[in-house]
Amino acid sequence: MSRLKELRLHGFKSFADPTRFIFEPGVNAVIGPNGSGKSNMADAVRWVLGEQSNRSLRTRRADDVIFGGSERRKPQGMAEASLTLDNADGWLPIDFAEVAIGRRAYRSGESEYLINGSRARLRDVVDLLGEGRLGANELVVVGQGTVDAALSLRPEERRQLFEEAAGVKALQVKRNEASSRLTRSLDNLTRMSDLIGELRPQVRRLAMQAEHQQQHDTLGVRARALVTASHHRREQAARATLGEARRRAAAAESALAAYRDAQDAALAAVGAAEERYWAAEEASRAAAE
């Protein structure tokens, strides 16, 4: 289990100057007259562990933990406390042999938390210490009168106190949280099942519409393919007809040209015959005279 090795205070309650307390293995006792700050040390431990209750810290306001001044000292603007814990056995889930948890408070109302010198959130500190059962709500600091009060508890209350000290309460809390999450998950599952039941007819209707649309699209594709094929065949037939017509026109033009040539030859022969006829007539008239 983790062990407290060191407590550092500066400006916390009555500890105006930087103060360091070293705790050796085993039992350590802090002694001193009334008003020397023994209870303030316990308050500092609670405070660093994340205690938020002014009553538990014996203060009225959050900034009451800051040194308020004296006849010889001015009030300070910040309170700081840090705990150094021995973590050689890995009690806390962090890869450090020593863990320093620090907290600062300013009169402006701001506060800071530190883990090994790095700034952290209160949630980070609570989660880290909670894994080692060292949180502010654990039985880490037993105040005056707590033992007497525990002895006067009823058996059931005393059992709860022992379970809390043994860490059973934390397990019960986790179990209850898990049970609550399971209940919420089952409720969500039931709602989802109801929603699926409501949507199933719509899904079937949409599936049928999609199938009809797909069939329509398929028929449309086929129709367009048939129209395209028909146009292609008609185009090929028209081109064939046009080619045949062109061939026939060319043959007709050739025949017409031959006819014209024959006609020209016949006309030339007729002209030659006429010329011979008129020449013979001229010769005959000349002989008669």
Reported as a single tens digit per residue, the pLDDT across 78-95 is: 999 999 999 888 888 888
Residue 166 clears pLDDT 70, i.e. is over it? no
Question: Please, what is the Cα angle at 222 between 219 and 227, to 5 degrees?
Answer: 125
Q: At what angle do helices 155-166 and 168-288 cross, to 10 degrees?
A: 50
Residue 263 clears pLDDT 90, i.e. is over it? no
Who contacts 99 (Cβ-Cβ below 8 Å, separation ≥6)? 2, 84, 85, 87, 92, 115, 116, 128
**8 Å CB contact between 164 and 139:** yes
Tokens linked to 262: 């024959």
Q: How many CA atoms lie within 13 A of 58 on its CB side?
A: 13
Q: What is the pLDDT of residues 25-70, one digit of tens each?
A: 989 988 989 888 888 998 999 899 888 888 888 899 989 999 999 8
**CA 226: distance to chain centroid?**
51
Q: Which residue has the higher pLDDT, 284 or 102?
A: 102
Mean pLDDT of the 255-267 span: 85
Just give the CATH number of 3-152.
Answer: 3.40.50.300
Q: What pLDDT is attached to residue 143? A: 63
Q: Structural domain boundaries of the chain?
A: 3-152
Q: What is the pLDDT of residues 146-159, one digit of tens each?
A: 666 666 767 776 67
Residue 103 clears pLDDT 80, i.e. is over it? yes
Specify the length of the chain in residues.
Answer: 289
